[in-house]
Amino acid sequence: MSSPGTGRTVDVVVVGGGAVGENAADYAVRAGLSALIVESELLGGECSYWACMPSKALLRTGHAVMAVRRLPGTTADFDPQAVLERRDRFTGNWNDEGQVEWARGADIAVLRGSGRLAGERTVEVETGLGRTVTVTARRAVVVCTGSVPVQQPCRARPGPHLDLTRRASRS
């Protein structure tokens, strides 16, 4: 339950700060509305930190090396450590301060925590340390909670499942 003084009201509350949530909040602000994103992890979501961006950063080197090797008279090699460092730069070293800075610059408020619908246009956000903030939307609540990392059994070896996005792209 919220403590007195822990409520906020904005025009649009967006639950989930991945690419879709960021765009929803940005569209709201560009239309003259106030917006707040509720995010429990890194602002930018799964794609920016564990899936799309780091995997593409890793794959690009292999594609470039193979393209060069197909040309007669050429050779190509790569430094695995440099490839991993490039991936880390793409993810901001798994630090979302750049995304938070973008949101602030776009007049989008960010509230860290886990949100849940608590009524019509009402979201309760567990911010940690037992604190709950109630956020009320004057116009709409947009739910953009995105994907859940897929875990597949690995038939090749017994033991834990493979997490095909988070562990694979960050290992």
Query: Whole-angstrom Cα distance, residue 170 to residue 77?
Result: 22
Instruction: For residue range 96-127, list pLDDT tens digits in order.
Output: 999 999 999 999 999 999 999 999 999 999 99
Share of the chain above pLDDT 70, in %: 82
Q: pTM of the predicted model, to two decimals?
A: 0.81
**For the chain, domain boundaries:** 7-44+94-170
Among 86, 21, 84, CA closest to 47:
21
- What's the rounded Cα separation, in Å, for the pair 28 and 142? 11
Average pLDDT over residues 77-87: 94
Provide the 8-state DSSP code for 161: P
Looking at the chain, the whole-number percentage of residues with pLDDT higher than 90 is 75
Distance between CA atoms of residues 150 and 162, nearest Å: 8
How does pLDDT run across 9-61, given as a tens digit for each residue?
999 999 999 999 999 999 999 999 999 999 999 999 988 998 889 999 999 99
pLDDT on residue 127: 93
Residues in the chain: 171
- 8 Å CB contact between 13 and 38: yes
130 or 68, higher pLDDT: 68
Question: Which of the four CATH numbers 3.50.50.60, 3.30.310.80, 3.40.50.300, 2.30.38.10 does domain 7-44+94-170 have?
Answer: 3.50.50.60
Of 106, 108, 92, nearest in space to 45 by CA: 92
What mean pLDDT is predicted for residues 126-145? 94
Count the neighbouring beta carbons within 10 Å of the beta carbon of residue 47. 18
**Based on the number of CB atoms within 10 Å of its own CB, is 19 exposed (0-12), middle (13-18) or buried (19 or more)?**
middle
Angle between helices 19-30 and 97-105 (to 10 degrees): 20
Residue 130 binned pLDDT confidence (cut-offs 50, 70, 90): confident
